[in-house]
Structure 1
Amino acid sequence: MGVKMGRRSFIGFVSAAAAAGLVPGTLSRAFAAGTGALPMGEKKPFSFEGVLGWAREQAKKPYQAPEISDALKNVLSRIDYDAYQQIKFDTEKSLWRNTDGVPPVAPFHQNRGTMEKVRIYTVSDGQAREVQYDPSAFDYKGDIKAADMPEDAGWGGFRLLYDNDPSRDWLAFLGASYFRSAGPQDQYGLSARAVAVNTALHDKTEEFPRFTEFWLEPTHDGGMHIYALLDSPSLTGAVQIACQKPNDRDIVMDVTVRFFTRQAVRRLGVAPLTSMFWFSEINRDEAVDWRPEIHDNDGLAIWTGSGERLWRPLDNPKHTRTSSFVDQSPKGFGLMQRDRNFANYEDDGVFYDRRPSLWIEPKGDWQKGMVQLLEIPTDDEIHDNIVAYWTTDEEVPAGEERAFQYRMHWMGDGLFGDVKVGHAIATRTGRAGVPGQKRPDKGLKYAIDFAGGDLANYTTEQKTVVPDVSASNAAIQNAYCLRVVGQDYWRLVFDIFPDGNGPVNLRAALKEGDRLLTESWVFEHREHQF
């Protein structure tokens, strides 16, 4: 996404459908020749309450899919990844270019993955003006030319640029309800969505609601308020995202969402995150690439309502797997990238060591529900195969409304908040047994490294730090822990032997007496072949 758009943009951004806009305006060609700016529509009153009203009323009406002409389909079907790289927006025509305290905005061109156009408006003093589509704002260097774009073409999305460097962008919206930030280390990775509908149901197809219209209102202190409409066969929605000015620590966005159901929704996923995990040290035995690790994020972190910290390493399973973490009033969750060592990736092209973590901080009481993690098998880095979201897993009947508020933190490290306990920094697996002795035919060894908290104040010789390991449907043997010689981190090691009676769910931590010294490491065991 952004200037260096990855191939996964065409895979992950599956569109559903669009609808008529709240603030209608002509979409006819209106070229602002010689002005150096994009053509703008007439001023019309705007408020977020109006967006809410539109979403509420549209949910009472049958869904109408957008009409796309054959001429537009034919052109866009030719704009694959390589052709898309030949189409560049002229940043001299960016919205709010050279305006103090306002990030410039550059629209995206449509492509074969974003055939449904979006409408974009600017907002000032309660008045909205539509940014009318203008193909001449793009530089076409390939086979596709501006003259090829038919009358019903439009914008594909948009991105926010750095005001001091318009060649770089820090936030992008493109396709369905996906958006992503490059984070403080200026490298795109995982994506967020406004909502997930019927994800991970074996008897129902997942639905991808899409943003149909955006209203952009600068805060004039480096931030941007983004308002958007959602539409799909099952629901409509109104979204408000208050983006703060980027800083060296994180990029913060305050999100308000309201959903209105047209049809019953079996599973409503709130604050959904989408990422990629191929392999790391946890499944290195299955890697086929020369690079040591390839992933956007390496774990799911959860801060429960009771205050416990959980860490679930991500995995690339042999079969699609869903894990649920039931909670009451969660303090937060996120897909994190804790490993920041370049040597563990050795990729100076896409820089997995710089990929952002994304933490969701609920506002208000989300009550009882669960964080759900979906892991899908993948054989390449081009596929998004990880999804995490909050859900009650209760059906939302047709004609109902749901509202949520939360804060998003796009971060350059893998920890959120004042973490007072040790945290997992690596998980490795290998053959069970003792070196130098005959190894058992089955079983797996886990070695988990923990750092931080008070761990550096303890030594192995004190014998006060002990392993706390449990498992369902399995026996645990040879469990021990030690402080790694010459280091401030500790290692917990154990062998696991499943009994074949069901899934093996593991939990491990370091303790001193009854006091937890680390977060709880949790994992669903699977067999490896060595």
Structure 2
Amino acid sequence: MDATRRSVSLGLSALSLLGLTGLTALREAVAQEEAAAPPPPQTGLRFSEPRPFSFEQLVAQAEAAAKEPYASPIIRFDDILDRIDPEVFADIRFRPDQALWADGSGPWPIRFHHPGRWFKRPVHINLVENGQAREILYEPWLFEFGEKASFVTGLPEDLGFAGFRVMNKQGGGDWLSFLGASYFRASGEQDQYGISARGVAIDIGLPTPEEFPAFREFWIERAAPDNDDLVICAFLDGPAVAGAYRFLVRRPGAVTMDVEAKLFMRHGVQRLGIAPLTSMYWFSETNRHAATDWRPEIHDSDGLAIWTGSGERLWRPLNNPQTMMVSSFSDTDPKGFGLLQRDREFASYEDDSLFYERRPSLWVEPLQPWGKGTVQLVEIPTNVEIHDNIAAYWVPEVKTEAGMRFDLGWRLYWQDGIPQELTVARCVATRIGRGGVPGAAEDRDLKLFAVDFEGPSLEPLRKGEDVQAVVATSRGEITRAFAFQIVGTRRWRAMFELLVDGEEPVDLRLYLRLGDNALTETWLYQYHPFRFVAGPSGFGEE
């Protein structure tokens, strides 16, 4: 993981941890140089003079920008902003009574993020009414600076904001936030942040540095006077691409976002990631043997789900590998993909401050055919939960070149599960253990896999029915593959043993079948061979 990615993920994740538990992300002491200047009389938000705005104008702006060389934004007051680490950032609070639409005149109150160490580049934020845009002007007095942030003085009134967040109407925090590069996230139907999305990913998962285009300006408006929907437009800019985005945001409980994106390439890139998702996976029941934390599981997402263009349902449990891994799943016109949090049991996490069981899944549904390409999954090693180490996105097959235009649309669902009901059973657990007969001579290369499924296609079945576990492997030998109903439940479990040598990853494929009918989604797993530590307990690995 390159330094820029670590900075962004550390910034977002550390802020989340600070807000929920009071843990300190860094121990650098903040020098107390000056007392904060007293604020002037509060007179409400100030705006620039109005100017016409439409999404068509924004598209033309992005197209024109892509024909010009990229100009990196100038960072002013870098020394002050660099000292605003996560602890200090958490001590800077936007005044609630100064929020946009704080008086109830709009659908949701909107507060603004102050710039800081990992969010130095200012963004312009505009309010759109009746086709006229007015920029909301930054002023220091709009923020309350706590004791740790008392040194943040002398910043000008044209500094700009770092982003914004949409608040609940009756308190209880925010449910949507745009902050850092082109990152944004929603809290889903259980009001708990977790997974993030991005506008676009450039050259992600390559040995070369990843590029991070950023949203430079936003335009916010009420979608219609008779509902609470929001329209958020954004101008994206980076060395390789400029773009215009339009988000139609609805919150009927879960959060859905219709995304319209117009991308204009300044130059070709090796990998153009469309609808990128960013999450965290440290360990689950699958790799619990390698964990060092007392909690049973720690992850924002536990698997990648894909609904292929041909209608096949795929489930790929996530890994925390020793080195970065990129997996590709070729398809034509996929119906959807997403990083999901399937395990919704508190007992799986035992964390009553971070509430991993409440974190939303994020599903991507293309709104028009995307053609040929691949869903790619990036897994980056981590040994701590504050780093986002998982990414998933769509890569078009077409080679990108300077001057190319992409017109794309997709819908994002921030909710507990996927929006479409499965007609087949889904995978709910993947476990790996030592193979062989208990008490017999141990073969440390033999592993036993237990994969559990539940769902409508399995519920009518009874114990003893001839359900078969259909298993395939890219290398090694599969033995003793069978399936059975778990006692006292409607779940079915597939079990098999894998004997494989060497350290190269093994790609496994499994589903349950009754006669000629597939009963389950297809389980895909990339097994990284390991050996359990020798000893009477067999705990851990080497």
TM-score calculated relative to the size of structure 2: 0.89
Aligned to 1:155: 161
The CA distance in 2 between the partners of 1:351 and 1:10, in whole Å, is 14
| CA distance 1:346–1:10, shift in 2 (3 Å) | closer
| CA distance 1:152–1:207, shift in 2 (3 Å) | same
| CA distance 1:8–1:291, shift in 2 (3 Å) | farther
Equivalent residue for 2:72, pick from 65, 74, 77: 65
CA-atom RMSD, angstroms?
A: 2.0
Aligned to 1:223: 229
| 1:343 and 2:347 correspond | yes
| CA distance 1:32–1:120, shift in 2 (3 Å) | farther
The CA distance in 1 between the partners of 2:339 and 2:365, in whole Å, is 12
SS at match of 1:121: strand
Q: Cα offset for 1:366?
A: 0.4
Q: Cα offset for 1:372?
A: 0.1
Q: Cα offset for 1:457?
A: 1.2
| 1:46 and 2:50 correspond | no
The CA distance in 1 between the partners of 2:274 and 2:85, in whole Å, is 31
Counterpart AA for 1:313: P
Aligned to 1:319: 323
Q: Cα offset for 1:394?
A: 4.3
The CA distance in 1 between the partners of 2:106 and 2:421, in whole Å, is 31
The CA distance in 1 between the partners of 2:505 and 2:353, in whole Å, is 39
| 1:169 and 2:171 correspond | no
Alpha-carbon deviations, 1:156-197, whole Å to 9, x = none?
1000111222x4111000000000001110110010000000
The CA distance in 2 between the partners of 1:11 and 1:472, in whole Å, is 39
| 1:442 and 2:445 correspond | yes
Counterpart AA for 1:201: L
Aligned to 1:506: 508
Q: Cα offset for 1:142?
A: 2.2
Q: Cα offset for 1:264?
A: 1.2
The CA distance in 2 between the partners of 1:201 and 1:132, in whole Å, is 39
Counterpart AA for 2:448: K
The CA distance in 2 between the partners of 1:415 and 1:446, in whole Å, is 26
The CA distance in 2 between the partners of 1:218 and 1:151, in whole Å, is 27
The CA distance in 2 between the partners of 1:399 and 1:352, in whole Å, is 43
Aligned to 1:528: 530
The CA distance in 2 between the partners of 1:206 and 1:394, in whole Å, is 20
Query: What are the ranges of 5 or more consecutive residues in structure 1 without an aligned counterpart?
Result: 14-30
The CA distance in 2 between the partners of 1:468 and 1:416, in whole Å, is 28
Aligned residues with identical type, % of pairs: 45
| 1:428 and 2:431 correspond | yes
Cα contact 1:234–1:262 (8 A) shared by 2: yes
| 1:459 and 2:462 correspond | yes
| CA distance 1:271–1:44, shift in 2 (3 Å) | same
Q: Cα offset for 1:289?
A: 0.2
Cα contact 1:266–1:394 (8 A) shared by 2: no
The CA distance in 1 between the partners of 2:48 and 2:474, in whole Å, is 63
Cα contact 2:139–2:156 (8 A) shared by 1: no
Equivalent residue for 1:305, pick from 285, 306, 309: 309
Q: Cα offset for 1:223?
A: 1.5
Counterpart AA for 1:475: E
| CA distance 1:501–1:94, shift in 2 (3 Å) | closer
The CA distance in 1 between the partners of 2:13 and 2:238, in whole Å, is 20
SS at match of 2:383: coil
Equivalent residue for 1:286, pick from 285, 290, 302: 290
The CA distance in 2 between the partners of 1:36 and 1:445, in whole Å, is 67
Of 497-506 and 377-386, the range deviating more from structure 2: 497-506
Cα contact 1:473–1:501 (8 A) shared by 2: no
Counterpart AA for 2:353: G
SS at match of 2:513: strand
Task: List, as ranges, runs of 4+ consecutive aligned residues in structure 1 with deviation greater than 6 Å.
Answer: 10-13
SS at match of 2:289: helix
SS at match of 1:290: coil
Q: Cα offset for 1:68?
A: 1.7
- Please show how residues 52-451 of structure 1 align to structure 2 within 5 Å: 52-69=59-76, 72-99=77-104, 102-145=107-150, 147-150=153-156, 153-165=159-171, 167-202=172-207, 204-219=208-223, 220=225, 221-244=227-250, 246-248=251-253, 250-412=254-416, 414-451=417-454
SS at match of 1:455: coil
SS at match of 2:524: strand
SS at match of 1:370: strand
Aligned to 1:474: 476
| CA distance 1:439–1:458, shift in 2 (3 Å) | farther
Counterpart AA for 2:479: Q
The CA distance in 2 between the partners of 1:448 and 1:415, in whole Å, is 21
The count of residues paired between Structure 1 and Structure 2 equals 501
Alpha-carbon deviations, 1:232-252, whole Å to 9, x = none?
1111000000001x233x211
SS at match of 1:173: strand
The CA distance in 1 between the partners of 2:507 and 2:11, in whole Å, is 32
Q: Cα offset for 1:503?
A: 4.1
The CA distance in 2 between the partners of 1:270 and 1:387, in whole Å, is 11
Alpha-carbon deviations, 1:358-396, whole Å to 9, x = none?
000001110111100000000100111000000025430
Q: Cα offset for 1:484?
A: 0.4
SS at match of 2:330: strand
Cα contact 2:425–2:454 (8 A) shared by 1: yes
The CA distance in 2 between the partners of 1:41 and 1:324, in whole Å, is 47
Alpha-carbon deviations, 1:387-444, whole Å to 9, x = none?
00000254300111111100000012x3430200000001011111122433323121
Aligned to 2:34: none
The CA distance in 2 between the partners of 1:182 and 1:343, in whole Å, is 21
Cα contact 1:197–1:207 (8 A) shared by 2: yes
The CA distance in 1 between the partners of 2:119 and 2:221, in whole Å, is 24
The CA distance in 1 between the partners of 2:14 and 2:69, in whole Å, is 28
SS at match of 1:449: strand
The CA distance in 1 between the partners of 2:15 and 2:323, in whole Å, is 20
The CA distance in 2 between the partners of 1:521 and 1:473, in whole Å, is 17
Cα contact 2:11–2:118 (8 A) shared by 1: no
Counterpart AA for 2:121: E
Of 189-198 and 433-442, the range deviating more from structure 2: 433-442
Cα contact 2:138–2:157 (8 A) shared by 1: no
| CA distance 1:349–1:343, shift in 2 (3 Å) | same
